[in-house]
Amino acid sequence: MSLLTPSSRKAVKALSLMIVALIAMTSFTSCDDDDDEWYYTVEGSWEQVAPPTREYVYYEFYEDGYGNYIVDDPRYGADYYEFSWWVSGSSLTIDYGGGDVEYYSWSVQGSTLYLYPDYGNPIVLNAIH
């Protein structure tokens, strides 16, 4: 003789299925923080539009955490400076090596990247497509 009525069995079965679904959802949800998202908005090639310079200035941020700072002077040619970079929240660090490190706060609006140094005006970069 069963202690559960047919309607009670249905309720227990539905409750069991809901618990299994909840466990499955929790299992497939990552506990990893979303810092990786920051890289995707900085990655790419950018042309400096402000402050104005006599040369063309470009930044290339590669997915692997390395990049190039390029100063292209029409009279003398281009100089390439390699760097490593990383993001932590709204802070961007560019390390050129040899103790030459730059720190910025940053934001992206549309296809424009703004780098805010601790001093002076922001560096404004437009995405190169």
Q: What is the mean pLDDT of each run of 10 residues along the chain (129 residues)?
A: 70 68 60 53 96 96 97 96 96 98 96 95 95
* Together in a domain, 2 and 52: no
Backbone phi, psi, residue 12, to 5°: -65, -40
Query: Quick one: pLDDT at residue 41?
Result: 86
Q: Provide the number of structural domains found in the chain.
A: 2
CA distance 17 to 10: 11
Q: Are strands 77-88 and 66-73 parallel, antiparallel or unpaired?
A: antiparallel
pTM of the model: 0.69
CA distance 129 to 127: 6
- Whole domain around residue 43: which residue ranges? 36-127
* Together in a domain, 14 and 51: no
* Together in a domain, 54 and 24: no
* Together in a domain, 99 and 86: yes
Query: Quick one: pLDDT at residue 71?
Result: 98
* Together in a domain, 15 and 75: no
